[in-house]
């Protein structure tokens, strides 16, 4: 059985069974009775009509190196002009998936990434990757903890780009000696608000790298 306490404070994705309805990124802010998570939508511009209340949603979230996936139904409430979701968490363990995410080392010499920090475009290399995040190494700090930046990865032989939104979870430094001593920055990042194409790309990349 999923410990719903662990999900509070995390971010999640609600994927509708109806393909005509957009995915919903949410922040889990608490829980209520009968194993119900309370969440707020990250996109504050959506109206109630944008939600498929009678549809089944797939819930996806990751906390640390554990990924959670289960089918759920949602209800929506409004209070003081704010929208809240009530997300049902199934008690039946056969209806939910809880799995460990393993980081795969990346040894590709060509894994130099273009990182858009919002202030400038800089280069970084990828040391490892999992379904929910990666470790990036750069000669400068890309962002502070909890800040968001974007990785642009070329696909289809350089004819298209996949963008991965990343939230920084930690930053550490190492001294590196190669002719002269320098400092490199290691960034642990968590992927968020991924498109379906981006998710498929990461899954395919991990299969090839593993």
| Domain residue extents for the chain | 4-100, 104-209
Q: Positive or negative CA dihedral for 120, 164, 68, 47?
A: positive
Evaluate whether the domain defined by 4-100 bears CATH number 2.40.50.140.
Answer: no
Locate 148 and state its tokens: 């968001």
CB 193 within 8 A of CB 149: no
What pLDDT shows up at residue 54? 62
pLDDT tens profile 162-185: 888 888 988 998 876 555 567 889
Q: How many CB atoms lie within 10 A of CB 207?
A: 9
CA distance 161 to 156: 8
What pLDDT shows up at residue 131? 81
pTM for this one? 0.57
Q: Positive or negative CA dihedral for 196, 201, 202, 204?
A: positive
CA distance 137 to 113: 10
Share the mean pLDDT of the chain. 79
Evaluate whether the domain defined by 104-209 bears CATH number 2.40.10.220.
Answer: yes
CA distance 201 to 193: 14
pLDDT tens profile 72-105: 888 887 777 788 888 888 876 444 555 556 678 8
Same-fold call for 4-100 versus 104-209: no
Q: Is the pLDDT of residue 14 over 80?
A: yes
CA distance 203 to 132: 10
């Amino acid at each position: 059985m999923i410990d719903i306490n662990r999900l509070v404070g995390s971010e999640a994705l609600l994927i509708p069974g109806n393909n005509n309805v957009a995915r919903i990124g949410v922040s889990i802010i608490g829980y209520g009775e009968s194993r119900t998570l309370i969440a707020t939508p990250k996109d504050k511009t959506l109206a109630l009509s944008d939600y498929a209340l009678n549809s089944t949603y797939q819930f996806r979230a990751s906390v640390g190196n554990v990924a959670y996936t289960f089918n759920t139904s949602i209800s929506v409430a409004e209070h003081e002009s704010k929208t809240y979701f009530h997300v049902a968490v199934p008690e039946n363990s056969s209806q939910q998936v809880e799995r460990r995410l393993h980081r795969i080392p990346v040894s590709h010499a060509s894994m130099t990434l273009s990182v858009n920090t919002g202030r400038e475009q800089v280069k970084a290399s990828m040391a490892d990757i999992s379904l929910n995040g990666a470790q990036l190494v750069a000669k400068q700090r890309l962002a502070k903890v909890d800040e968001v930046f974007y990785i642009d990865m070329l696909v289809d032989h350089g004819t298209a780009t996949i963008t991965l939104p990343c939230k920084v979870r930690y930053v550490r430094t190492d001294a590196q000696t190669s002719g002269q001593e320098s400092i490199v920055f290691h960034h642990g990042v968590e992927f968020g608000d991924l498109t379906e194409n981006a998710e498929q790309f990461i899954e395919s990349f991990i299969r090839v790298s593993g």
